[in-house]
Amino acid sequence: MKKGYRTDVQVLDSLADKWPSNLVARAELDKLTGGILHGRTMANIESREDSDSIPRFRAGKKVFYQVSDVIDFLKRKIEK
């Protein structure tokens, strides 16, 4: 790993602390994660049958996730 990069997953935990809700819309994933994960990327991941997706629900045309599930998903991806 290059010098200067943080591998500490506590940084991800701090993202959840700053988000004003327990839910996040797919369209706002980039805002929650600081650009690490985009809504279109998550939609593409979920479209694959062998995907490592996270639980989600739909309200009208919008897809929502629990913030804690998004953070756990990112931690799994970083640890790989």
Tens digits of residue pLDDT in 6-57 = 556 778 888 888 889 999 999 999 999 989 899 999 999 888 877 677 899 9
Q: Is residue 4 part of a domain?
A: no
- Write out the two tokens for 30: 């980039």
Q: Is the dihedral of CA 29, 35, 37, 42 positive or negative?
A: positive
Q: Is residue 1 part of a domain?
A: no
Q: Is residue 5 part of a domain?
A: no
Q: Is residue 22 part of a domain?
A: yes
Where on the phi/psi map is residue 25: left (φ > 0), alpha (ψ -120 to 50), or beta? beta
Q: Is residue 63 part of a domain?
A: yes
Q: Model's pTM, two decimal places?
A: 0.82
Residue predicted with more confidence, 8 or 75? 75
Q: Count of domains in the chain?
A: 1
The pLDDT value given to residue 1:
47
Report the chain's terminal Cα–Cα distance, integer Å: 13
Structural domain span for residue 29 = 10-79
The pLDDT value given to residue 12:
82
pLDDT at 59 over 80: yes
